[in-house]
C-alpha cells in the first residue's frame, strides 16, 4: 500500500518552472491523500487567481507524471484550485491532451521551449550561487575560467547546478568547465567571465525576489482568507 509520504516525496521533485523550487517547499500543495486502493489525490494552489496558465499547466502536468510513477498508485489525480483556467488545465492534464489542445485557438503550441528557457535561467542562477563564494575568496576571472565542476567543494548548490545542466544536455561531470555557455555548452573564456557572472547574478537575484513575492502572496491569499472565514463564523 502506498502512503502519502511516498506521494509527497514524488511531488518534491516537481518544480515551479520560473522559480526552480519544489512545489512542496513553496507551499503549493494544499492537500495529498491516498486511498486504500491506490487512488492518489493531490490539490494544488497558486499565489494568485491569475497566475500564468502555461506555468500552472506545467506544474499540474509534472505533478501528474510524478505521482503516476509512484509504486502502488493505481490512479493519479491532480486538481488545481482557485485559478481562472483550472477547468481547462485539470481536464487537459487528466486527458493528457497537451497545452495547445487544452486551450484551442489560444495557445501557439506546446511548452517545451518555455521549459527549456527556464532551465537555462536555473543554470545561470545556480552558477551565481557557486561562484559568489569563489569571487569572495579573491579568485580571478582567469582562475574561474579554468575551474571545473569537480574543483568545487561538494555542496547542494553544486549538485543542483549539475542536475540542471544535465537537463539541458550541457557538460555536467567533474571534468566539465565550471563556466559554460547555457546554449552551446562551450567553455566561457577569461574575457567573457565578467559578463557571464553579471548575467548569472541578475538572474539569481530576480529568481529569488520572485520566489519571495510568491510566498508572500500565497501566505496572504490563503491565511488572510482563513482569518476572514473565522471572523465570519463568530
Q: What is the dihedral of CA 159, 167, 124, 206, to 10 degrees?
A: -100
pLDDT in tens, 144-180: 999 999 999 999 999 999 999 999 999 999 999 999 9
Q: Look at residue 231 in the predicted model and tell me its pLDDT.
A: 37
What Å distances lie between residue 11 and 22, 68, 81, 203, CA to CA? 8, 11, 17, 25
Does one domain contain both 8 and 106?
Answer: yes
Domain finish residue from 110, 136, 159:
110
Say what percent of the chain tops pLDDT 90: 91
Does one domain contain both 141 and 184?
Answer: yes
Q: Is residue 216 part of a domain?
A: no
Domain tally, the chain: 2
Does one domain contain both 8 and 101?
Answer: yes
Does one domain contain both 98 and 187?
Answer: no
* For residue 107, pLDDT beyond 80: yes
Does one domain contain both 103 and 189?
Answer: no
Does one domain contain both 81 and 145?
Answer: no
* For residue 234, pLDDT beyond 70: no
Task: Evaluate if pTM is beyond 0.75.
Answer: yes
CATH number at residue 102: 3.30.300.130
Question: Going by C-beta distance under 8 Å and a sequence separation of 6 or more, which residues neighbour residue 45?
Answer: 28, 30, 80, 81, 82, 218, 222
Does one domain contain both 170 and 183?
Answer: yes
Does one domain contain both 85 and 18?
Answer: yes
Q: Is residue 72 part of a domain?
A: yes
Does one domain contain both 42 and 90?
Answer: yes
* For residue 83, pLDDT beyond 60: yes
- DSSP reduced 3-state for 148: strand
Domain that holds residue 78: 4-110
Q: Is residue 224 part of a domain?
A: no
Q: Which three cell numbers stand for residue 232?
A: 465570519
Q: Answer for the pair 59, 16: CB distance below 8 angstroms, yes or no.
A: yes
Q: Is residue 229 part of a domain?
A: no
CA distance 108 to 93: 17
Does one domain contain both 105 and 189?
Answer: no
Amino acid at each position: 500500500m502506498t502512503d502519502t509520504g511516498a506521494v509527497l516525496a514524488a511531488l518534491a521533485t516537481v518544480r515551479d518552472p520560473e522559480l526552480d523550487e519544489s512545489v512542496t517547499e513553496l507551499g503549493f500543495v494544499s492537500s495529498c491523500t491516498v486511498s486504500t486502493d491506490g487512488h492518489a489525490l493531490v490539490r494544488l494552489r497558486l499565489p494568485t487567481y491569475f497566475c500564468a496558465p502555461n506555468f500552472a499547466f506545467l506544474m499540474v502536468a509534472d505533478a501528474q507524471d510524478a505521482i503516476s510513477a509512484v509504486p502502488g498508485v493505481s490512479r493519479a489525480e491532480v486538481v488545481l484550485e482557485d485559478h481562472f483556467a483550472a477547468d481547462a488545465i485539470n481536464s487537459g492534464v487528466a486527458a493528457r491532451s497537451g497545452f495547445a489542445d487544452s486551450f484551442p485557438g489560444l495557445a501557439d503550441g506546446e511548452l517545451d521551449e518555455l521549459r527549456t528557457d527556464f532551465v537555462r535561467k536555473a543554470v545561470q542562477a545556480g552558477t551565481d550561487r557557486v561562484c559568489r563564494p569563489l569571487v569572495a575568496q579573491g579568485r580571478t576571472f582567469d582562475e574561474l575560467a579554468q575551474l571545473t565542476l569537480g574543483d568545487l567543494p561538494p555542496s547542494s548548490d553544486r549538485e543542483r547546478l549539475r542536475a540542471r545542466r544535465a537537463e539541458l544536455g550541457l557538460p555536467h561531470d567533474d571534468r566539465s568547465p565550471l563556466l559554460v555557455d547555457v546554449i552551446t555548452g562551450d567553455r566561457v573564456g577569461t574575457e567573457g567571465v565578467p559578463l557571464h557572472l553579471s548575467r548569472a547574478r541578475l538572474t539569481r537575484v530576480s529568481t529569488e525576489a520572485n520566489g519571495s513575492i510568491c510566498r508572500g502572496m500565497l501566505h496572504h491569499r490563503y491565511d488572510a482568507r482563513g482569518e476572514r472565514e473565522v471572523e465570519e463564523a463568530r
